[in-house]
Structure 1
């Protein structure tokens, strides 16, 4: 049985359109192209099976095909019901990758796709939000026996992994790709910043300049969202629970307020905390007529959508990916993309050049786990700095940018405690 016959996808006839998308992304991912050329020769993953759960769009497809070209059998599923692109799934399935995914599956289908991916008994995994790891540690621990280890893409997933490690329940080593410098400084900040506003702008077709944007959370993703909002001409309010981050937001020129106060002023709201219930029904009671709510955290738990639905006297879809809730007093509140990741559910995600770096980190980290899983042990490990630095160096080289190197004398000086 070939990969297309094994796959569960929406429409195989969409493969041509999906291939065009994948090729466009690949043409703008020079670091991954450089890795691909070497991996096609070395084939370090020959004989292994790799399971991937990521936002299944064109850039992710390129990652899957690079890992396939490294010799692995690749099985992939989505990590969010609304971010999967059916044409990309069809193209992958037609070209040697087994796919269990389709756009907007039911919760039962979504879970079944995860389990079917794991039932192929992978040797290595790449996870996003910890979905594969959670299933392996809760519902199907029998499928974890062959897993050597893997990589995690997000803050949310790393929190899950750290909780498992803390209790001694983690069954295999995982590398925290999200915590690499070449990930959060660029993907989380510049990728999220641009893609969130791409998603909001294309969905609403409304002006941002002169409006008030409330950014809930000032981690690296929040920094990016706030920076891009400011660049679009918005007045930006940041809400935080961390005093250091709140201080940084203040020094960066933003107004810092509690969410209860910010709720009264915002025109746009973007949640980027990774936590649940950061915008509650109580906050919505004081929002302006026409307030627009969106989420850029991994799961759709940051905005209390159930509370909003309970408060509303009517609800309708007024535009693709925009739900209008009319409250008892006549005020209207708009929710984008069902409260799911607005940059992927209502957009195409991060720019290809940004994901080039992130997926290069994933590729090299996966190879590191494969080569060192017995030595690492059952723990969450940071990306080795050598990999981090290598990815950024390759990225600079792809742009024709050169940097300096330390002289032998400078290296000796930095390594010595004597200041002469």
Structure 2
């Protein structure tokens, strides 16, 4: 199957979107791409990628191709593809795409299967569906993969579960856990883009609202910080006592979801787990409560309970579904419970994805260079890659920093004063 996109005629418009993103992604689209173009470290390598097909992803894919790779790209979410970007990528040499906005479940997994059956050497995933399919349905192909990377917290959890169960068949780099990814993409990127998605979908005023944030990892921290910055009163729910304590020390109210459900105007899930907001919570929510998800999969807000409870359902705005309950209360679900920042908006700002995708490009190069030397387990991004991404980002921003003198290095490495 050749590339499959919604409308190839959208390619010119998509090219402009990619140009805009790349102007704000100098690490991936300038520094790394220039070196990759000269050195061709990925020459002849097949890279299978399952990512959100956005203008920022296009910058990464074009850099991989510039390094000599052949790339097949499928969507990591049925509703996140930017169709013009997919069309623009599909017409570039060395890149094939299977993605369009609004895929059904069968179409979604058929595109991932299209990537898998191509027998890629390196796999790049966002959420773990590609890794899971390789191991569950194509173990013989998985055994031939040189290595993989993973973009999200959810996907890294799945990879570590595979490693724990002794079934992981290739080395995998947890790109999500790089400091230049999680501290910036997860916190600042998701924090801003989630609020952006909610505002585009609803046009509500955040000031004065009670916003409930479920989960206080890097994503939850970013959302809570941005919501407070817009004047919202923020409640955090957590199951981890250390994170809950951190939220308290950061000045947020912390309580169980069943209590927060009675108070909240807007609910945002960011846990990576399922059934975080469910029937008992819906039963006590205010009339007009708004539900949004910032976690990878559409399981955090348990929509089956909402469907069972509703006596009427209608779409009142793009990406806003109203559920009317038996007592007349209305609950509004955004983006079908999927990633609100990518469904109702454009995802993370290009500037922050620059660092995340720089880690992806350099990790792919690392896996190629170390083919056959790594065991089938989950690895952190090598420190030298993480720090190189930070250095290049600072360089792009025109910022210089100090360096240690030899005397200072010796002092820090010795136990004798």
Deviations 1:139-192 (A, max 9, x none): 122322431001100111011111111111100000000011101110000000
Matches within 5 A, 1:78-93: 78-93=75-90
Unaligned runs of 5+ in 1: none
CA RMSD, aligned part only? 0.8
**1:417 Cα deviation after fit:** 0.6
Task: Report if aligned partners of 1:173, 1:373 keep a CA contact under 8 Å in 2.
Answer: no
The whole-number CA distance in structure 2 between the counterparts of 1:169 and 1:120 is: 21
Match status 1:48 vs 2:45: yes
Secondary structure, aligned partner of 2:42: coil
Task: Report if aligned partners of 2:143, 2:170 keep a CA contact under 8 Å in 1.
Answer: no
Q: 1:392 maps to what in 2?
A: 390
Match status 1:58 vs 2:55: yes
Secondary structure, aligned partner of 1:263: helix
Deviations 1:331-353 (A, max 9, x none): 10000000000000111000000
The whole-number CA distance in structure 2 between the counterparts of 1:141 and 1:105 is: 26
1:70 to 67, 70, 74: 67
The whole-number CA distance in structure 1 between the counterparts of 2:57 and 2:161 is: 27
Matches within 5 A, 1:18-417: 18-32=14-28, 33-96=30-93, 97-417=95-415
Deviations 1:29-68 (A, max 9, x none): 0111110011001011111110111111100011001000
2:9 to 10, 13, 18: 13
**1:373 Cα deviation after fit:** 3.2
Moved over 4 A (4+): none
Deviations 1:305-353 (A, max 9, x none): 0100110110000000000000111110000000000000111000000
- TM-score w.r.t. length of structure 1: 0.98
Secondary structure, aligned partner of 1:199: helix
The whole-number CA distance in structure 2 between the counterparts of 1:331 and 1:387 is: 52
The whole-number CA distance in structure 2 between the counterparts of 1:141 and 1:271 is: 33
**1:406 Cα deviation after fit:** 0.7
What is the number of residues matched between the two proteins? Answer: 415
Task: Report if aligned partners of 2:197, 2:342 keep a CA contact under 8 Å in 1.
Answer: yes
- TM-score w.r.t. length of structure 2: 0.99
Task: Report if aligned partners of 2:172, 2:378 keep a CA contact under 8 Å in 1.
Answer: yes
Unaligned runs of 5+ in 2: none
Query: Which range moved further: 6-15 or 143-152?
Result: 143-152
**1:382 Cα deviation after fit:** 0.3
The whole-number CA distance in structure 2 between the counterparts of 1:375 and 1:73 is: 23
Deviations 1:351-379 (A, max 9, x none): 00000000001111111111113221100
Task: Report if aligned partners of 1:192, 1:221 keep a CA contact under 8 Å in 2.
Answer: yes
